[in-house]
Amino acid sequence: MGKTKIIIVIILVVIVAGVGVFYFYNKEETNKKLENELTPMAEDYFDNYMSANTGSNIYEVTLADLKKANEEDADYDLSNFNDCEDDSTVKITIDYNTGKVTKTEVELNCK
């Protein structure tokens, strides 16, 4: 009877570990997908609503900014961000010479 219990415990540990790995992998893939959706919207928001001559080369666009723009006249599809907080941010770095985006960094705050 003791050998059977050990085998059952080992099987349960393997199952729990497998589920944990799957959960974290799936969450990382979901976050990557959300980042890929949010970045172009933030860049568009930057182009349409922000000025690149404020003395900074890094600008922040939050989910709250995109929601506010939707209330006014924009049409950003934010339906996939219902589980994300308004402080989720895209940091946009621009090149002063060209005024073009050179780098983006996304910080999601999602459940």
pLDDT score recorded for residue 107: 93
Strand order in the sheet with 89-94: 58-62, 89-94, 101-107
Q: Into how many domains does the chain fold?
A: 1
The share of the chain scoring above pLDDT 70, in percent, equals: 95
- For 92, the domain range is 2-107
Burial-class residue 30 by CB neighbours within 10 Å (0-12, 13-18, 19+): middle
For 22-66, the pLDDT digits (tens) are 777 777 888 889 899 999 999 999 888 887 665 668 889 999 999
Contact 51, 94 (CB under 8 A): no
pLDDT score recorded for residue 98: 74
Residue linked to tokens 């939050």: 62
Contact 85, 67 (CB under 8 A): no
Q: What is the pTM of this model?
A: 0.71
